[in-house]
Amino acid sequence: MFPADPGTLVWVWPWLLAAWPLPFLVWLLPPLAEPVLALPVPFAERMAAHATSEKRPLRMGRLLFAGFCWTLLVVAALRPQWVGEPVKLPVSGRSMMLAVDLSGSMREQDLELNGDPATRLAVVKSVLAPFIERREGDRLGLILFGDQPYLQTPLTFDRSMVVQMLVESEIGLAGERTALGAAVGLAVRKLRDLDDSQRVLVLLTDGRNTAGALAPKAALELAEQVGLRIYTIGVGADEAFIRTLFGTRRVNPSAELDEATLQAFAERTGGRYFRARNPEELEQIYTELDRLEPIEVDEETYRPLRELYPWPLGLAVGLGLFGMVIRAGLVLFQSMLPSGIQEERVNA
């Protein structure tokens, strides 16, 4: 198949057109031997003459019908394709891994969503999902971590699948503690073998490293070795008011947040540390990430090819079945005629 302009018809296997005259050449060949009647019939000559005179037009019609079906099969074998208009594909050299904390502290309801108290994870989902949808052209992956990190979604261009996996995540799914260093180590392992230099990790947590076999310091060294740029986000309110028997008391729900470690991850890898105390700040953070990590798109195009062979193939099969049904119906109809009518038609 040669390159063709958009909006044109191409044939993938045009050389199969040589098969089209084969049935007609076979039909023109003389018979190998004259047929011999095994059982003499007194009126065989009269029946043969009657059959020849009666079926000659019908036989020609059957031949034309069979030729038309054969032509359709040959056209399908040529594999016609319709070349569509060019479609642009966004391609980016960036591979971005998103790591989300699912430890027990993420169920803390110190944030609001649409004016109502909401868990930290619910607020993260509401802001992170639109961020994922905006990253057209990037390869995105999702890591969920608690006691251990888990690769929920490998790097993919399918942003809707990443959003779905995020929405379906639940607090405590990976355990109640926080394996911060192990989550960074998993991201390093999944991104280090890529050829591009745009390796990015966005790490969101509300606590400190309390689990996992890999310490944050060792994970940071691994990230520096492979050139992984880390953006860290500490989520959680600075203050909350709770009612006790002795009145209302102000507490800091984010007292366990290890900001020093998060800042070290960001500064030593060329990223940034952000603090999200409410949904508005979290949304501003992801908007800032869009600015810091712009979508670099190198346009690539492809021409969609629409296969057309099912149409002639289906028509040929349908016509063939229709012809068989009609022929079987005629034979059945003739067999149901009274013998006197059949003998009268023969003697006519």
The radius of gyration of the chain from alpha carbons, rounded to an integer in Å, stands at 38
Mean pLDDT along residues 82-97:
72
pLDDT at 4: 58
The stretches of 175-309 forming alpha helices (DSSP H) are 180-191, 216-226, 259-269, 279-292
Q: How confident is the model at residue 13 (pLDDT cuts 50, 70, 90)?
A: confident
DSSP letter at 247 equals: E
The whole-angstrom distance between residue 49's C-alpha and the CA centroid of its chain comes to: 65
In the chain, where the domains are located: 9-25+42-84+304-347, 90-297
pLDDT at 238: 78
Name the nearest CA neighbour of 219 among 121, 327, 99, 301: 99
Q: pTM for this one? A: 0.59
Element containing residue 96 per DSSP (H, E) = strand 94-101
- Cα angle value 279/285/287 (rounded, 5°): 105
SS3 35: coil
Positive or negative: CA dihedral 322, 323, 329, 333: positive
Among 46-60, 151-165, 224-238, where is mean pLDDT lowest? Answer: 46-60
State yes or no: pLDDT of 8 exceeds 70. Answer: yes
Mean pLDDT along residues 207-230:
92
DSSP string, 127-171: HHHHHHHH-TT-EEEEEEESSSEEEEEEEES-HHHHHHHHHT--T
The model's pLDDT over 17-68, given as tens digits with 9 standing for 90+, comes to 888 888 877 777 766 655 555 555 554 454 455 445 445 666 777 778 888 8
Q: Which residue matches tokens 């050829």?
A: 195
pLDDT at 172: 85
Residue 164 buriedness (CB in 10 A; 0-12 / 13-18 / 19+): middle
Among 73-77, 251-255, 278-282, where is mean pLDDT lowest? Answer: 251-255
Tokens standing for residue 237: 């309110």
What is the CB neighbour count within 10 angstroms for residue 201?
Answer: 27
State yes or no: pLDDT of 296 exceeds 70. Answer: no
Residue at 117: amino acid letter? P
d(CA 174, CA 104): 10
CB within 8 A of 89, min separation 6: which ones? 299, 300, 301, 302
d(CA 198, CA 179): 25
d(CA 23, CA 29): 10
More confident residue, 307 or 339: 307
The model's pLDDT over 108-121, given as tens digits with 9 standing for 90+, comes to 888 888 888 889 99
Q: Which residue matches tokens 């409410």?
A: 278
Q: How far is CA 128 from each of CA 98, 100, 110, 290, rounded to the nearest angstrom?
A: 9, 10, 18, 12
Instruction: List 81's β-bridge partners, or say none.
Output: 10, 307
What is the CB neighbour count within 10 angstroms for residue 204?
Answer: 24
Assigned superfamily of 90-297: von Willebrand factor, type A domain (3.40.50.410)
State yes or no: pLDDT of 251 exceeds 60. Answer: no
